Structure 1
Amino acid sequence: MSASTARIDTVRIDRRTDGAYADSPLPRVSWTVVDAPGWWQASARIRLDGEDVAEIEGDESSFVDWPFAPVLPHSAHTLEVQATSTNGETTAWSEPVRFVATFLADGEWVAERIGLATPSVVAAPALLRAEFDAEEDVVAAHLSSTAEGVFQIELNGQDVDDSVLKPGWSSYQYRTVHDAVDVTALVVPGRNALGIRLAGGWWTEEYGFAGEGRRVYGEQPSVAAQLLLVRADGSTRVIATGSGWRATDEGPVVSSGIYAGEHYDARRRIGAWSTPGFDDSAWSPVSSTGIDRAPEAMLAEPVRRTGEVAVKRVLTSPSGNTILDFGQNLVGRLRITVSGDAGHAVTLRHAEVLEDGELGLRPLRFAAATDRYVLAGDAVETWEPEFTFHGFRYAQIDDWPGEFEPASVTAIVIGSDMRRTGWFDSSNPLVNRLHENIVWGMRGNFLALPTDCPQRDERLGWTGDVQVFSPTASFLYDSDAFLSSWLRDVAAEQAAHDGVCPVVVPWVLPGDTYPAAAWGDAAVVVPSVLHERFGDRRALAEQYESMGAWADALLRVAGERMLWEGMFQFGDWLDPAAPPEHPEDVRADPDLVASAALIRALDLVTAAAATLGHHDDHDHYCALAERARDAFCAEYLTPAGRMMSDAPTAYAVALRYDIVRDPSTRETLGQRLAELLRREGYRMATGFVGTPLVQDALVDGGHADVAERLLLQTENPSWLYAVTMGATTVWERWDSLLEDGSVNPGDMTSFNHYAFGAVADWLHRRLAGLAPAAPGYRRLRIAPVLLPSFDHAGAVHDTPYGRAEVSWRRDGDDVLLEVTVPANTTAEIDVPGLPNEELGAGTHGWRIPGSVRRPAAPISPDSALSEVIDRAGAYDLLVEELNAHAPASAHRLRHRTRWVPQRTLRSELDGIPAEVLESIADRLSAL
C-alpha cells in the first residue's frame, strides 16, 4: 500500500451530531475522507481502544455496521479509522474519537419517580435534594435521568451539563427518554449532594383551543435519576431517587408554564441547597412511585442555548411602553441584568410583531408569554427564565428600575442542538433573505420535536408541517437523529390508534384521532426522506411497520373504490383563496388531494419494502398502488387532460406524485398548470400541499420561466411578499401581515411557521443544482436550472460522505459551473450545453456557452393579457401609471385581473381616461 495525501476528516458514531454517543450496543460508524481527488474506497480498518482491529471490505463509509462485540452500558471507548482506495492509496489512522455508551442494561433502571408530596398549587415548581457518600477510589460516575416535566440536576452546586428543558417532550404515555451525563469530575471523595430543579413543562401544560385547554398528562411533575458510581476494582453502587429525598416548593420559581411564561422571585433563592451539609429539615419528604416502563436512551441532540441576539432598537410605544426590537424573530427567552430595590418586579412580555406601535398580542391567543422577575435587592442581578420559551422579535419591558440600558437585555436563542450542514447563496438579496428566514424558522421550531409554531397557545407537533419540510430540514441541518426520535413517537401513537398517524404527535388534542391526508402522511414521508438524504436504512427499517400501518389504515377508508372520499380533510390548507376565518375552504378538491396522498403513501411503502427486501410486501402494495392510480385517473382526469378540480394543486399532485404517467398527458397537465399560474399574475395559488410541489412540477414540464416568476414575485401572495414586509422568518399565512401593516384578521396567524419554507429544498436541488441521486448523496445529481434573472447561485451541503458544492455564475453570455464531489461518491451531470457524464471525487469546472437571445415582439394595449404579464417590466409599468392616474383601476388590475390569452389589455382597462391609455401605450412600446 502506498502513501496518500488523502486523510480521514471525521469519524462519527451513529446519528447524534453534538458528540460521540452510542445509544445502543451496536452503534454504526461513519467516516469521511478529504484531500482525495478520484477517491473510491476499496476497504477500511476500524480500531477500537487502540487494540482491536476490524477489516471492512467494500466501499461503504456511512452507517457501517458495528464490527466488534456489542458495546457495554456506560462504557467509554476510542475509535480510529483507516481507509484504502481502489488504486491502493491508504490514509493514516484518524485522530481517536472518544465515545460513550448512553444506554442502560435491561433491568438496570431502579430510580423511582419523585415529586412534591403536598404541592401548594397545581404544576408547582420544586427543588429536590439528597446527599450521598462517595469512596476515595471512585473512577467513574454516570448520571441517567428523566422526568415527567422539565428539569436540571446540580451536583455539589454545579449544573451537570448545559442542556435545557430536558428531557424534552415525547408521547409520555408510551415512551420516555433519559439523558446520560458523565459526572466523574463533579463527584468528590466523601460527602456529596444532588439537587434537582423541576417544573411542569409540557407534562402539566393545558392543550386545546379557544381557551378550553386541559391537562392531558398530569397535574404535577416528577423526576427520576440514578447515579452509577464505579470504583477502581470495578465494583459499582447506584444512588437513585426515592423516598429518602426531600423537596420544597418554596424556591425562587413561583410558577412556570410553556405558554404562560415564568414567575421568579429572587428573594426566595436558597443558597447552597445542592451542596453537602445544607439543612433541609424544613423541607418535606417527597412522593415516590415506581415506574412501569424503563426510559430509553436519548436518541436526539438535546435542547441548548445556541446563540445570543442583542437589542437592535429601543422603541417607545404610543401608550408609553418600552419595547425592544431584536431585529430577528427568534425562539428563546431574555437574559436581564438589573439593579433595584428588593421586591421590585420587572415584567417581560413577548410578541412577534407590532400593531399600531404596540406589542401585537392578539396572535398569541391564550398564551400569556410573560415572564416576571422580582428583585432580591442585590447590587447586580442577572436572570434568565429556565423552564419556558417564547417566539418573539419584540419584548416589552415594564417597570424597569432606573434608566434602561439596551445592553442590560440579551435574547438567548434555544433549540435542539443539531449540526448545520447546508447553505445557499444567490445574486438575489431577497431570495437570500427568504432562505435565511427559512433557516431561522427551522431553528425555532425544531425544539425537542418539530412544532408548527413557537409563540401562541399551540407549539404542537403538527405532522403536516414536518412532512412537507423534512427534505429542507435534512439539507440545512443534520436532523437524522432529531426526526428519528420523533418518529418513534409517531409509531407509538399509531400503535395506540389502529395505525392512524395523528395530525399532532404527541397527540394531545381533544377527541379521537383521525386520518388526514398530507398530515398523517408524515408516517411514510419522513422515514423515506431520512433514507434518501442520510442513507439511514435503519430509520427506514425502524419505521417500516409504522409505514405499513398507515397505508393499511388508508386502505380501510378507501374501500373497494380505492378513493379516499367524504372525510374531514385539511386539504390544501391555507390556499390564499381561502377566507381568513376558513383556511380549509380551498380551490383543490380535498377528496382529490386525499386520493392522491393514498397513492403516494402506497408508493412509498412499496419502495421501502424493496429497499428492505420485503418482496411479498412490495408486490402487495405495488399492486394496490396501481389500482388506486387507475381509480384516481378515472375519477379526476378528463380525456382532454384536465383535472376535474381545475386548481394548481390538483395538477401539482398528479404530476409530482407520479400519478399520471402518460407523457403526452403529463405535458398537457403541465401546460395547464402554467396557464393557471399565469392567470393569477404569477402569484401563489397553493397551500400547504401544493406549494412544495409546484416549482418542481413546472420545471419538469418545461416551464422554468413560470417557476422563476413565482419565485421572484413580491406581491401578495408570494414567498418574497413577506420578505418585502420585513419578515425574518416564514409566515403561516401568505398574508399574515396585510399590505397596510395590520395583522391578518383570522384567529390563526403565526409569523414563524416553516411549512411554506419547503421551497428551500427546490432552491438547493434545482436552482443551485445539488440533489441526491442515491441514498445519502452517494451519487449526486448536478442539474442547475439557470434562471435568466440570476447572475449566480450555489449550494453547499455536508453530505454523509463529505462536503459537496455546486455554484454557477454568468460570465458575459456564458455560464461558469463549478462542482465539488466528495470522496467515495460520484456525480451525474445533466446540464444543457454540457455532455452527460459521470464524475469522481474532486473539483470540476466548465464553461457553458450562452444561447442567442431573440428580440421580443412589441406589445401594446391590443396585446393579449397573457402576453402583457409575460413581458418583463410591463406589469410594474401598468401599476405605476394606474396608481398615479387611476388608483381604482390599479387596485382592480392587481387583485381582479385574470391574465388570460382570450382578453386584451385594452378591454381590461376599459373606462380609464384616453390620455392615460395613450401614455401606457407609449411606455409599452418603449419596452
Structure 2
Amino acid sequence: MTVTVSAPTFEHHREAFGIGETTPRISWRFKGDSETQNWTQKSYEIEISRQTSNKQSQRKTENVRIASTESVLVPWPSTPLKSRESARVRVRANSFANEYTPWSEYSVVETGLLTPDDWTAQVIAAEKTISATGALQPTLFRKSFQLDKKSIAKARLYITSYGVYEPSINGSRVGNHVMAPAWQSYGHRLSYQTHDITKYLHEKDNVIGVEVSDGWWSGRLTWGGGRRFIYGDALAILAQVEVEYEDGSTMTVGSDATWKTSTGARIASEIYDGEIYDASLEVKGWNETALKDDSWKAVSILEFPKIDLIAPEGPPIVVTETVKPKQIWSSPTNKTIVDFGQNLVGGVRLRVSGPKGTKIVLQHVEVLEHGEVATRPLRDCKARDTIILSDEKLHWEPKFTFHGFRYVQVEGWPSKTGQPALEDLEAFVIHTDMEPTGWFECSEPLVNQLYSNIRWGMRGNFVGLPTDCPQRDERLGWTGDIQVFSPTANFLYDTSGLLLGWLKDLAVEQIKDYQGVVPQVVPDIIDARPNAPTLAVWGDVAVITPVDLYLSFGDKRILQNQYESMTTWLNAIPRMADSRLWDNTRHQLGDWLDPAAPPDDPSAGTTDPQFVANAYLAHVSNILASVTKTLGYDEATVKKYEDDAAVVKKDFQHKYVTPAGRLSPDSMTALSLALTFDLFANQDQTDQARSRLAELSRASRFRIGTGFAGTPTILPALCAGDPKKNFKQVAYRMLLETSCPSWLYPITMGATTMWERWDSMLPNGDINPGSMTSFNHYALGSVGKWLFGTVGGVDMDITSASALRTASPDQSSIGWRVIKFAPQPGGTITSAKTSHLSPYGIVSCAWNLDAEKKLFRMSVSVPPNCKAVVQLPGTDKEAINIGSGEYEFVVEGYEEDEAWPPEAIVSPWSMVEESEQKIVGVRKDK
C-alpha cells in the first residue's frame, strides 16, 4: 500500500509566481496504488525553506507538523511573506495507521510587489497615432541599460499596460502570455505580471522592449459600431526590471522619461477587426542592443494608477494548442477556403514569401452558408487579418487580436493557384491556462461529440474572463451565461482562480458603481448609468456562482469575500407592494432563447419571464439563508434570511401553483425550475409536476423547449426523486433526440462547439435570420453537469446550495471530500467512463451494461483522504459507504423500470411536422 502526495499548490494559483498573498494557503493532492483502501490523513508536515538575507545561499528551513485531516487550503504555517520573497515548500502526510507518505516534490512560491511603495517605475505613454481604422496604432517602447556586475542571482520583470502588451529582452520574447494583462474592471483594478528574466540578460549591454496595442483598454467594444477609448485614449506601460546579484546587491530599471517609443509594422491590431501588418515597415532589431534609437520619440509621463494594482488571481491567457488545416478548396464563387476542422479561438500562423506589396487577406468565420464564408453572424466585426509582404520570407501570426473561427477565406496568396499549401498554415488556440479536470466518454458517438463541443465552447469563451461568445462584436462577460454554466465549467477545468477574480470585479462594480445592482456584463461597458436595469437569472450570479465555486473547490473564503455582494443584490431587487416577489413592471429576459421565441425577440419564449424571475428569487433567497448559516452568523441574522426565503416561497406558491397542484405557466422551463428549486408545497404536488414535465416532453416528441434558464434543470428534474417514480428514460430520449431543437441536432449539422440558438443553422443550411446568432456559446452546454453526474455517475455528495444547511458543521463533504457514485443508465448508452481531478486527487467511474445478460458492472476510484457513497442502479439496496481505494460492483438481474424508448404523445397540440421546424404549442390545423 503506497500513497503519495503531489507538489503543493498555493491558494488558487496554477503557478504561484508573483502572487499577491502574503500567507498563501497550501493544498496537495493524493495518489494511491491499487491496493490502497480507507486511507485517511491524520496529520501533515510542511517544510518551508526561506532566505534569511539578501544572499541566496543563506537559508532557513522550518518544519511544522499539524494534527489535521485537512489537505485543501490549509493555513500558511510560517511568518508572512514580504514583497519579492520566495520560499520552497514540500509536504508529507501521515495516516491514522501511522503510515507516512514520502515527501512531495518542492514547489516554489514567490510574491510580487505588494504595496504601491514597491514601485519606483512610472507610467509612460506613447504619442497617439490613429490608424485608418480608427484604432490606436500599436506602439513600441524600448530602453537600453547596462548591468554593472556579472554574478546575477536572479532578475524579475514586473509589468502591466494600458492596452495589451508583449515584452522582450534582448530580442527574445519574455514568457508565453498573450493578450496580457487581460481584461479586468479597469475602473477599479489592474493586474500586473511577474516574469523571471534571469536567462534573458547579457553580462553588460541589455535592452528591454515592449509592444502595446489597444486591447480592451481603448479598442472598439460592443455592437452597433461600438465605443472606443472606454478606459483611456493612450497606450502606456508600467515596467520595472529588478536584478539581484549573488552578493546581495540590487539594481532597478523602471519605465521613466528616458525610455523611447516608435511605431512598427503593425498598423492596427484590435480585437474585433483584426490585424493589419505591413512587413516593409518592420523595424528590424527594434528590441536589440545594436539598434540606434536616436530618431525614436520621447515618452510622456502619466499619473501613477489610483486604482488597485494587483497580482492576478487566475492563470494567464496562453497558446494551448495548434491545429493543422484539414482541407483547402475553392468555393462556388471561386474563393479559397481553408477548413481547420474545429471551431476554435485564436489565430492563423503562416509561412509565405512574395513580391513586395502583395496583400494577403484572411477572413475568419465559424460556418459556411451554402459553400461560402458566412460573415453576417459577425455583425459589425471584421474578423479580418491583412498581411502586406516585403519581398522577404515571412513567418507571421496576429499578436493583439483573436478570432472565433473554423474556416478562413484566403485572398491574394502568392502562388500559381492562388491557394496556400496545407503546410503553409496552422491555427493556434488561446484561452486562459486553466488546469483540465474533467473527462467523459460513453458508447454513443454523438454524445461524445456533445461533450467535446461543450469543452471546446468553454475553452473559446474563457479568454481572461467568462464571455458569451468569442467571434462577433460582443465577447462580453454576460452574467447569466456563466451563472447557468459554472457547475459544468467547474467540473471540466479548475476555474477557481479566474472566476474568483471575475467575481471580485462583479462585486466592486455592483457596490461602487451601481448602487447594489449587478451589471448585465462584467466588466460593464454597455450601461454606465447608476441603477441599471435589474435582471433576474443574470443578477443572481452574485449569489449562485460563489456557492458553485465553494461546493466545487471547498473554499469558504469565497463565500466570505462575496457575502456583501450577495446580500446587497437581494436588497436591491425591487419587490411588489403586496408580496416579496419581483416588481412585475421590471423588464426581464426570462428563459432567454427558448426555441419558441421568434428570431428577433429572444426573451419572448413560452414561459412568462416574471415566473422565471420569481422562481429564481425563491432559489437565491434560500441560498442566501444557507450561506448565512454556513458562515456562522448569529441566529437572528440566519432567521431573518430563512424567514424571508419562506415568505418568498409562499408568495410564489400563491401566485403560480393552483389548489390542485398544477403550475401556471405550464411549460418545460416552469416545471423544471419549480422542481429543481423545490418550490412545491408537498410531495404529491412535486410528483404530479414531474409527471406533467414528462408528459410535455413526450408531447414535444422529445424536442427541447427550454432556453438559458430552463436548460440546466430539465434533465435533472426528470431524473430526480424516487427512481420508480422519475422519468429517466424520458430524459435520455430528450438527450438522444437529433431533430431540431435538441442537443444533438447541431452535431448532425457539423457543429464542433455549442451554439447560441438551438437552430443557429436551419436544416436547409441557412443561418438563423436573427441578428444574434453565434456558433460558439456555452450556455446550452450546461447539460454537461447532468452528463457527468447522471450518465457518468460522478458527482459530489452535496450538490445543491440548499443542502448546505444539512451539511456537517465542519462542511466536511464540501469540495469533493465525499463523492457520490450513482450512474443511472438509460437510453441506448451501454457504457460510460468519467473522471474528475478533484482537489484531493483523481475520482473515476466506469460502468457497462449487458442488457441480454441483465448484468451491470461498475468500477470506481476514490482518492486517499476521501470517502464515497455508492448507489447502484436497478436495486432497492441502500447506499453503500466506502473509503478511498478502487472498487468493483456487479448487479445481476439488472432490468430497467421504464420501457425504452418511451412513446411520444401525438395530438393536435403536439409538434407540427418536422419539416416545418416549429415548436410545441402550434396546432397542426393552423
Aligned partners of 1:473, 1:739: CA distance in 2, in Å?
29
- Distance, in Å, in 1 between the alignment partners of 2:287 and 2:906 is 75
Equivalent residue number for residue 440 of structure 1? 456
Question: Is residue 611 from structure 1 mapped to residue 627 from structure 2 by the alignment?
Answer: no
CA deviation map 1:360-419 (0-9, x unaligned)? 0000000000001111211x2110000000000000110000142111010111111111
Aligned equivalents of 1:599 and 1:855: distance in 2?
33
Residue of structure 2 equivalent to 1:48? 48
Q: Which residues of structure 1 form unaligned runs of 5+?
A: 870-874, 880-887, 901-907, 911-927
Q: Which moved more, 1:743-752 or 1:132-141?
A: 132-141
Is 1:849 matched up with 2:866?
A: no
- Residues 1:559 and 1:389: Cα distance change in structure 2 (over 3 Å): farther
Is 1:143 aligned to residue 157 of structure 2?
A: yes
The whole-number CA distance in structure 1 between the counterparts of 2:436 and 2:180 is 21
How far apart in 1 are the matches of 2:222 and 2:889? 57
Q: Distance in 2 between matches of 1:844 and 1:692?
A: 31
Deviation at 1:37, TM superposition (A): 2.2
- Asked whether the 8 Å contact 2:699–2:907 carries over to 1, the reply is no
1:824 counterpart residue number = 865
Shift of 1:104: 2.5
Distance apart, 1:356 and its partner CA: 2.0
- For residues 706-750 of structure 1, give each alpha carbon's deviation from its aligned partner in whole angstroms, at most 9, with x where no partner exists: 111110010100000001111000000000000001100000000
Judging changes above 3 Å, is the alpha-carbon distance between structure 1 residues 857 and 48 closer, same or farther for their aligned structure 2 residues?
Answer: closer
Structure 2: distance between partners of 1:247 and 1:784: 61
CA contact (8 A) 2:184 2:523 kept: yes
**Equivalent residue, structure 2, for 1:712:** 736
Paired with 2:729 and 2:680, the residues of 1 have a C-alpha distance of: 23
Corresponding position of 1:549: 568
Q: Mean alpha-carbon deviation: is it higher for 573-582 or for 129-138?
A: 129-138
8 Å CA contact retained: 2:733, 2:827: no
C-alpha displacement of 1:100:
2.1
Give the corresponding residue for 1:648. 668
SS in 1 for 2:28: strand
The answer on 1:631 being equivalent to 2:651 is yes
Residues in 2 aligned to 1:890 and 1:153: alpha-carbon distance in whole angstroms: 56
CA separation of 1:898 and 1:160: change in aligned 2, threshold 3 A: closer
Equivalence for 2:22: 25
Query: CA, structure 1 residues 854+757, in 2 after alignment: closer, same or farther (shift >3 Å)?
Result: closer
Shift of 1:219: 2.5
The structure whose residues are more often helix, as a share, is 1
SS of structure 2 residue aligned to 1:46: strand
Structure 2 counterpart of 1:905:
none
- Cα distance in structure 2, aligned partners of 1:855 and 1:238: 73
Whether the 8 Å contact between 1:165 and 1:387 is mirrored in structure 2 is: yes
Residue in 2 that maps onto 1:78? 88
Classify the secondary structure of the residue corresponding to 2:775: coil
Equivalent of 1:540 in 559, 563, 575: 559
Residue aligned with 2:29, SS: strand
1:559–1:494 Cα change, 3 Å: farther
Q: More deviation in 284-293 or 113-122? A: 113-122
Q: CA deviation at 1:109?
A: 2.4
In 2, the alpha carbon distance for the partners of 1:394 and 1:694 equals 34
Q: Where do residues 212-361 of structure 1 align in structure 2 (5 Å cutoff)?
A: 212-249=226-263, 251-291=264-304, 292-361=306-375
1:806 aligned residue: 845
Paired with 1:856 and 1:83, the residues of 2 have a C-alpha distance of 50
Identity %: 38
Once the two structures are overlaid, the 10-residue window that deviates more, 254-263 or 638-647, is: 638-647
2:816 corresponds to: 777
Amino acid at match of 1:604: I
CA deviation after TM superposition for structure 1 residue 897, in Å: 7.9
Partner SS, residue 329 of structure 2: strand
Contact 1:704 1:787 in 2 (8 A): yes
Match of 1:124 in 2: 137
Question: How big is the shift at 1:636?
Answer: 1.0
Structure 2 SS opposite 1:207 = coil
- CA displacement, residues 236-257 of structure 1 (integer Å, 9 cap, x when unaligned): 33321122211112x0110111
3-state SS in 2 of match to 1:716: coil
* Counterpart residue number, 1:682: 702
Q: Determine whether 1:93 maps to 2:111.
A: no
* Aligned equivalent of 1:474, options 490, 505, 509: 490
> By how many angstroms is 1:107 displaced?
2.2
- TM-aligned CA deviation for residue 891 of structure 1: 4.3
Deviation at 1:294? 4.4
Query: Within 1, Cα distance between the matches of 2:871 and 2:17?
Result: 38
Q: Tell me which residue corresponds to 2:115.
A: 105
Q: Distance in 2 between matches of 1:21 and 1:158?
A: 21
Residue 519 of structure 2 is aligned with which of 502, 505, 508? Answer: 502
For 1:791, the equivalent position in structure 2 comes to 830
1:115–1:85 CA distance, 2 compared to 1 (3 A): same
| Equivalent residue letter for 2:609 | P
Give the Cα–Cα distance (whole angstroms) in 2 for the partners of residues 443 and 29 of structure 1: 27
Correspondence for 2:11: 14
- Correspondence for 2:767: 743
Residues 147 and 204, structure 2, Cα contact 8 Å, conserved in 1: yes
d(CA) in 1 for partners of 2:579, 2:121: 53
Cα gap change, 1:790/1:899 in structure 2, threshold over 3 Å: closer, same or farther? farther
Task: Quote the offset at 1:40 in angstroms.
Answer: 0.3
Aligned mates of 1:687, 1:896 — CA distance in 2: 13
The one-letter code matched in structure 2 to 1:393 is: R
Q: Deviations over 1:869-916 (max 9, x none)?
A: 9xxxxx9xxx9xxxxxxxx97747x7578799xxxxxxx8x9xxxxxx
Distance 1:528 1:258, change over 3 A: same
Q: Give me the CA root mean square deviation.
A: 2.4
Residue 456 of structure 1, CA deviation? 0.3
What is the TM-score with the length of structure 2 in the denominator?
Answer: 0.91
Alpha-carbon distance in structure 2 between the residues aligned to 1:244 and 1:691: 57
- In the other structure, the counterpart of 1:866 is 905
Does 579-588 or 671-680 show the bigger shift? Answer: 671-680
2:436 matched to which residue of 1? 420
Matched, 1:366 2:380: yes
| Aligned equivalents of 1:88, 1:559: Cα separation in 2 | 63
Aligned equivalents of 1:89 and 1:575: distance in 2? 56
The corresponding residue for 1:660 is 680
The structure-2 alpha-carbon separation of the partners of 1:81 and 1:568, relative to structure 1 and needing over 3 Å to count, comes to same
Alpha-carbon contact 2:699-2:906 (below 8 Å) kept: no
* CA distance 1:897–1:538, change in 2 (3 Å): closer
Q: Equivalent residue for 2:206? A: 192
Spell out the pairing of 1:747-758 with structure 2 (5 A cutoff). Answer: 747-758=771-782
For 1:432-479, what per-residue CA distance to the aligned partner results, in whole angstroms no more than 9, with x for missing partners? 000000000011000011110000000000111111111111011111
Write out per-residue CA displacement over residues 810-862 of structure 1, whole angstroms, 9 at most, x where no aligned residue: 13311101111111000011224244221100011111123457998999xxx
Tell me by how many angstroms 1:650 deviates. Answer: 1.1
What is the DSSP-based 3-state SS (H/G/I as helix, E as strand, rest coil) of the residue aligned with 2:158?
A: strand
What is the TM-score of this pair, normalised by structure 1? 0.91
Q: Is the 8 A contact 1:146 1:167 kept in 2?
A: yes
Deviation at 1:184, TM superposition (A): 1.7
Aligned to 2:581: 563
Moved over 6 A (4+): 853-859, 896-900
